[in-house]
Amino acid sequence: MCSPWDVRTICTVWTPRSKVLKSAVITHNRLVAGSNPAGPTYYLMKPSGFVEISLILLITLGCMPAPTEATPRPSPAPINFTNTTVSLTFDDGAADNYAVRPILSERGLHATFYIVSGFTGTEGYMTAGQLRDLFEDGNEIGGHTLNHTKLTEVRGADLEREICQDRQNLLDHGFEVTSFAYPFGHYDEVSKQVVKDCGYANARAVTGGPDAIPPEDPFALQAMPYIVQDTTINKLMRYVTGAEVEGGGWVILVFHRVCTGYNEYAIDLETFTNLADWLAYQRDLNGLVIKTVGEVIGR
């Protein structure tokens, strides 16, 4: 997000509908605004009006949000759930995932966090203490390899190390670790067998959902498509309601980053909050079941 208080601020916004790159550059008492390729327009202002006009332009271009009242929650779908379960899963253990902790806790929701243990505590990833907080809240900690390695590209001792040492690292932190997720969703019969041999009770892929309960293959759990930057709240709700309409099933949602920015595999915190509100509402009033992966499998 851009801030008008910087001495020099550059903010660019790509708007897919118009396919125009809008920009704003602020330097002391001059504000430059424009859209590529037409060229910029220059505004020279007295200091007294600089901040106000800068704010208006930044809001207009989308470089910062306009002050508004709380975003309305999505309307609950008029449907009764009789055979649908939702699992919220987070891959990799990115530091921004920790922001969902109070959102889950306040609504009595629990998620499965698949952790790359070799990254724990490094820059951009959650610490062991943060994972402990999530675990003590009732969330599940699962494995996601030692170094986020494509398991179809390693064999022998290297394959075992990626899967087994990762689980052992998490066990050493005091977590109960029974669920695994294949990095990038890549696996084969060899890697699947190692996952079993290392003590896991299930393993999640990244396509093919919704799955059935019980699943046909607990070591190839089928998830919904990756949640990415342009995945809307309405689409997420349709994943859930659509499963019920088709007779029910297991809707496994896969999140990576929780932030606002330019990461393709990100959901912003507001959208996730709205989703959590909707899921909790459907659970409380319409019978939707929300469990961790381990709870569904019966760890």
Q: Is residue 126 part of a domain?
A: yes
**Tally of domains in the chain:** 2
| pLDDT-wise least confident of 59-73, 208-222, 276-290 | 59-73
Spell 188-224 as b/e; 16+ CB within 10 A means b.
Answer: eeebbebbeebebbbbbbbeebbbeeebeebbbbbbb
Quick check: 41 pLDDT over 60?
A: no
**Domain check: are 102 and 148 in the same one?**
yes
Q: Is residue 244 part of a domain?
A: yes
**Residue 140 belongs to domain with CATH number:** 3.20.20.370
Quick check: 53 pLDDT over 60?
A: no
Note the pLDDT tens digit of each residue in 193-218: 999 999 999 999 999 999 999 999 99
**Domain check: are 30 and 106 in the same one?**
no
Give me the domain span that covers residue 280.
84-297
**Domain check: are 92 and 32 in the same one?**
no
**Domain check: are 159 and 293 in the same one?**
yes
- Quote the pLDDT of residue 10: 34
Local confidence band at 142 (pLDDT 50, 70, 90 cut-offs): very high
State how far the Cα of 148 lies from the Cα of 192, in Å rounded to an integer.
Answer: 16
Q: Quote the Cα angle for 225-188-84, to 5°.
A: 35
**Domain check: are 89 and 48 in the same one?**
no
Q: Is residue 285 part of a domain?
A: yes
**Domain check: are 245 and 132 in the same one?**
yes
**Domain check: are 112 and 254 in the same one?**
yes
**Domain check: are 110 and 236 in the same one?**
yes
**Domain check: are 286 and 173 in the same one?**
yes
State how far the Cα of 272 lies from the Cα of 73, in Å rounded to an integer.
Answer: 11
Note the pLDDT tens digit of each residue in 109-122: 999 999 999 999 99
Q: Is residue 31 part of a domain?
A: yes
- The strand ranges marked E within 55-185 are 84-92, 111-115, 140-143, 179-181
Quick check: 247 pLDDT over 50?
A: yes
**Domain check: are 49 and 197 in the same one?**
no
